[in-house]
Structure 1
Amino acid sequence: MSLAEARVRVVDDTSTARRAAHAYIDLLERRDWSGLAALLAGDVVYEMPQTRERIRGKNAFLRFNTEYPGDWHLRPRRVIADGRLAAVLLDVRVGDEQQDACVWLEMSEHGLISKIIDYWPEPYEPPPGRKHLVERW
């Protein structure tokens, strides 16, 4: 691969990652689970370092989100992408409560989201009722 071809590939990967990041947040906000499923690799891994939880696989991740309680809303404040990586600074609201969160996305070579890491401001114990979907570390 020539240097020019490598540069085009990085630009294409970066554009794909940026579009996927925007789509990911939009689909979650709209609760469009079938649209979200189309954006995810089958073996996607989702991690929440503050609770030390990990979810493996598209079906478990979708179920986690469909079962997640509350009337939560997401708004991207900033999206940064580089190659197959993207980061999103989020405004997260549940009722009157507002928090900032950061989501890191890794893309597969096929342009699907293969890893998601959600960072929240403070560590916390996970809510009950999701042990069937997560592993703790």
Structure 2
Amino acid sequence: MSLPDATFHAVDRTSMSRQAAQSYVDHLERRDWPGLAALLTDSVVYEMPQTRERIHGVDAFLRFNIEYPGDWHLRLRRVVADGSFAALWLDIRVGVEQQDACVWLEVSEHGLIRKIVDYWPESYDPPLGREHLVERW
């Protein structure tokens, strides 16, 4: 029995979104900036609701991560994908401090990440020094 075309397309998009999500975490953890850039659309949007910050574009997003302070590490606890969306549950460590975060990804029809929404457990004021990369809302 074969899947109807619409069902096959949804399954294919879901697989593509799951793969993009797993690769996203892998490239970030390895600090593989060219590999990470290859996963993103040029116009990627990154949002952090707790600090009301938004970053536009792959170059600013890469710089944000390259300049992020501390010895941070990511471990993927779970990924759930459906069509062009993926949700990640991450174990994030900076030094000895551990936090969980949820990240929502929106993936294009070409398998590139076009939007990232990064939810942290508590609201906080953003650290100084990244005003040149973000807009507040």
Q: Same fold (TM over 0.5)?
A: yes
Q: CA deviation at 1:108?
A: 1.0
Q: CA deviation at 1:110?
A: 1.5
Q: CA deviation at 1:103?
A: 0.5
* Aligned length, in residue pairs: 135
Counterpart of 2:72 in structure 1: which amino acid?
W
TM-score (norm 1): 0.97
Counterpart of 2:90 in structure 1: which amino acid?
L
| Corresponding residue number in structure 1 for 2:26 | 26
State the Cα deviation string for residues 30-87 of structure 1 (Å, max 9, x = none). Answer: 0000000000000000000000000000011001110111000000000000000000
Q: How does 1:1-137 map to 2 (within 5 A)?
A: 4-137=4-137
Counterpart of 1:95 in structure 2: which amino acid?
G
TM-score (norm 2): 0.97
Shift >3 Å, 4+ stretches: none
Calculate the aligned-residue CA RMSD, in Å: 0.8
2:52 and 2:60 map into 1 onto residues whose CA distance is 16
Could you tell me which runs of 5 or more consecutive residues in structure 2 were left unpaired when the two chains were aligned: none
Identity of aligned residues (%): 73
2:28 and 2:78 map into 1 onto residues whose CA distance is 16
Could you tell me which runs of 5 or more consecutive residues in structure 1 were left unpaired when the two chains were aligned: none
2:99 and 2:109 map into 1 onto residues whose CA distance is 32
2:111 and 2:9 map into 1 onto residues whose CA distance is 12
Q: Secondary structure at the match of 1:27?
A: helix
1:69 and 1:95 map into 2 onto residues whose CA distance is 11
